[in-house]
């Protein structure tokens, strides 16, 4: 079964740091591009970061650029999100999601998603 399991969320003070992890199983992790998507409770979905297979290509949403760093360890089948300089507006459920690439006609889509880990930034 293809599965993603996030961990590392919790309560952190503004200005603090957290590192989220996402453990992958049931597929060849190194072959897939991975992403982080977050959701403020009661609100919509916001894509925040992408990492290519191999780890050399990375993209970030403007809202987290310069503060968050995405990385991966293919030997451990794991994806990470280092979150620094946390702000109250970073409070959200953070999901990791595998990006499935179709072709030039079909594009790409997120499947599956992890169950999410809640990050609360508050003093």
Partner 1 sequence: DIQMTQSPSSLSASVGDRVTITCRASQSISSYLNWYQQKPGKAPKLLIFAASSLQSGVPSRFSGSGSGTDFSLTISSLQPEDYATYYCQQSYNIPITFGQGTRLEIK
Residues that bind partner 1 (CB under 8 A): 35, 44-47, 50, 59, 61-62, 95, 100, 102, 105-116
Smaller CB distance to partner 1: residue 9 or 114?
A: 114
Smaller CB distance to partner 1: residue 28 or 59?
A: 59
Q: Which helix (H) or strand (E) holds 93?
A: strand 92-101
- Number of Cβ atoms within 10 Å of the Cβ of 25: 11
Smaller CB distance to partner 1: residue 45 or 120?
A: 45
CA distance 111 to 98: 5
**Shortest gap between Cβ of 102 and partner 1 (angstroms)?**
6
**Shortest gap between Cβ of 93 and partner 1 (angstroms)?**
9
65-69 long-range contacts, Cβ below 8 Å, gap at least 24?
Answer: 68/36
Query: Cα–Cα–Cα angle for 15, 16, 18, nearest 5°?
Result: 140
**Shortest gap between Cβ of 33 and partner 1 (angstroms)?**
11
Smaller CB distance to partner 1: residue 23 or 45?
A: 45
């Amino acid at each position: 079964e293809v599965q993603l399991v996030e961990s590392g969320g919790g309560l952190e003070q503004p200005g603090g740091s957290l590192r989220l992890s996402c453990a992958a199983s049931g597929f060849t992790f190194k072959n897939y591009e991975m992403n982080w998507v977050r959701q403020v409770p009661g609100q919509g979905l916001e894509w925040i970061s992408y990492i290519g297979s191999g780890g050399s290509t990375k993209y970030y949403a403007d809202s987290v650029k310069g503060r968050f760093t995405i990385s991966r360890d293919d030997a451990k089948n794991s994806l990470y999100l280092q979150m620094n300089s946390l702000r109250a507006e970073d409070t959200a459920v953070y999901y990791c999601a595998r990006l499935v690439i179709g072709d030039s006609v079909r594009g790409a889509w997120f499947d599956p998603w992890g169950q999410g880990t809640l990050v609360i930034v508050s003093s």
